[in-house]
Amino acid sequence: MDLLQELEWRGLINQATDMEGLRQLLNEGKVTLYCGFDPTADSLHIGSLLPILTLRRFQLAGHRPIALVGGATGLIGDPSGKKSERTLNPKETVQQWSNRIKEQLARFLDFDAKENPAKIANNYDWIGSLDVITFLRDVGKNFGLNYMLAKESVQSRIETGISFTEFSYMILQAFDFLKLYQTENCRLQIGGSDQWGNITAGLELIRKTEGEAKAFGLTIPLVTKADGTKFGKTESGTIWLDKEKTSPYEFYQFWINTDDRDVIKYLKYFTFLSKDEIEELERKLQEAPEQRAAQKALAEEMTKLVHGEDALKQAIRISEALFSGSVSELSAEEIEQGFKDVPSFEYEGEEVPLVELLVMAKIVPSKRQAREDIANGAIYVNGKRVQDINAVIAKENRIEGRFTVIRRGKKKYYLIRYK
């Protein structure tokens, strides 16, 4: 398969402005392409992974990707896919976020490749110094009001309201494409399907400014889940690429809990496994879904890709310890990751009777219930069953002096934190 055939097989092409023209361009030699990432938070989330990894696929095929950080457009706000106006963030904040996003993008693209090194650019470099007269005369004059109103990103906001600030966003993104076309010979812009209107606006500006220019646009599907819930969201919140915001263990768990109906699609979208490897995993899914071989492969590939081999090993270690109940083998750092979302209780003091601790931490409603649970073998301390109703939790029951893990029954975990 050539690159476009592979992208089609993986389901990564939603729309293209001229598929045959793009195929011919890619066959002619190295092509420079770009995708934009606005800094709307201090980290990218997994919703951004698909365009990032698509840039990587182009680079692996010999082309030159530019990851454009929207230091300027991030100050404006893209109305695409939004029901209401974005909150405008301070310039200093957006600048800090831009720097963080640059660091994250550097994990996925090769900036040292000899033939086709990737590049990171920031559109604040050319938009930040643009004066309003030049913008209106040289850029704005190329866009008719009817043309802009016809864009879905604008139409969807007409009733609820859209400011001139956000209305002008597509012109700024179009200017990005023109600028990169002129300075980097960038011939292709990619983005999510919600960016189609902004991408085609860029092509229109290039055509009007440069004449019969040979530039193209391609969009990637927005990722959906079969159960109708939003991709990249869990009960505990968004899945981020920053390990401080989403630990490697949580990241691993997100992928391993993928629905059977979604897992093959995600393997095609996100991993670099071959067609044969993915088809073999699909066969295993059909023949033995209970083994979850496809989910394990997806979780391992994604955790290794985003966080590295060591983080993957740690995530697997935590998962296996929680499954077997042998939590005493985990370090305090691993406990912090694995029990981030379980109920916790902070205790200050020395030894404490287990019965009292169970009541104080609201693990059980009463001392009578605590004694019953202990006697019946329903209470585990750091993975070990305790049946002595006179048991005392002492310093030796603390993992690295910081935590004690208590389990009630088969699955209800509680974390005791020590001051």
Are the C-beta atoms of residues 397 and 381 closer than 8 Å to each other?
yes
- Distances in Å between the Cα of 47 and the Cα atoms of 15, 222, 223, 333 are 18, 8, 7, 27
304 is in an annotated binding site: no
253 is in an annotated binding site: no
Task: Give the up-direction half-sphere exposure of residue 139: CA atoms within 13 A in the CB hemisphere.
Answer: 24
* Phi, psi at 157, each rounded to 5°: -110, 0
Who's near 286: CB < 8 A, 6+ residues apart?
none
Alpha-carbon torsion (154, 157, 159, 163), positive or negative: negative
169 is in an annotated binding site: yes
34 is in an annotated binding site: yes
Exposed e or buried b per residue across 357-371, where buried means at least 16 C-beta atoms within 10 angstroms of its C-beta: bbbebebbeeeeebb
Task: Give the up-direction half-sphere exposure of residue 204: CA atoms within 13 A in the CB hemisphere.
Answer: 20
- Distances in Å between the Cα of 197 and the Cα atoms of 148, 251, 286 are 9, 32, 39
Are the C-beta atoms of residues 401 and 333 closer than 8 Å to each other?
no
Who's near 203: CB < 8 A, 6+ residues apart?
17, 177, 215, 216, 217
Closest alpha carbon to 267 in 310, 300, 228: 300
Who's near 60: CB < 8 A, 6+ residues apart?
272
Termini Cα distance of the chain: 59
Binding residues for L-tyrosine: 34, 169, 173
Binding residues for ATP: 233
Binding residues: 34, 169, 173, 233
